[in-house]
Structure 1
Amino acid sequence: MDLLSRKYAMQTLCAVGALEPVRYGELETAFGDVSSSTLSARLEDLTGAGLLEREQYDEIPPRVEYRLSDDGEELCERLEPVLAWVRERES
């Protein structure tokens, strides 16, 4: 629960689910107002918790893609109604 209460954790998880496979720059563009350090920290936290999978390709320039793990996919499905409710209240 501590992880999900961190800033942008739920949004990052669901954004990866909506855009997967997704690269860091695509997520940064999707959020617009999130700092690079916060986004990097959330991706690291969610990957460490087993909710995201990170694949790094041996290319130049380096390429990293994120996808939901099975647990992340289940959690994202459960969080989507909550995030939709929040978006409705913000409008």
Structure 2
Amino acid sequence: MLLHVLNRSPATSEVYRQALAAMGPDDRLLLIEDGVQGAVGTLVARFAGLEGRLYAQEEDLVARGLAPLCAPSVVRVDVEGFVLLTEEAQRTVSWF
């Protein structure tokens, strides 16, 4: 399993498409920084099919005022959860 980390908003960048294309069936995607915008509203639909494998950094959601808007299908993780995801992964791939 690979952990893909995306820090760009799918509203302003197309890099999320590259990340999705590179993902295997067991890989996970973690949204951080501006990437957490993908966890709210209609943007979360861009990650359809990743239920249970789509994560968002809690601190980044809070910092942007998006925590109350986070879709229920997105798994929210704090810093400790981020560390756990990296420990479970064979490799981590960052998408900027």
- Which structure is richer in relative contact order (CA contacts within 8 A, separation 6 or more)? 2
- Smaller-chain TM-score range? 0.3 to 0.5
Q: TM-score, normalised by structure 2?
A: 0.31
Greater Rg, structure 1 or structure 2? 1
Structure 1 or 2: larger helix share? 1
TM-score (norm 1): 0.32
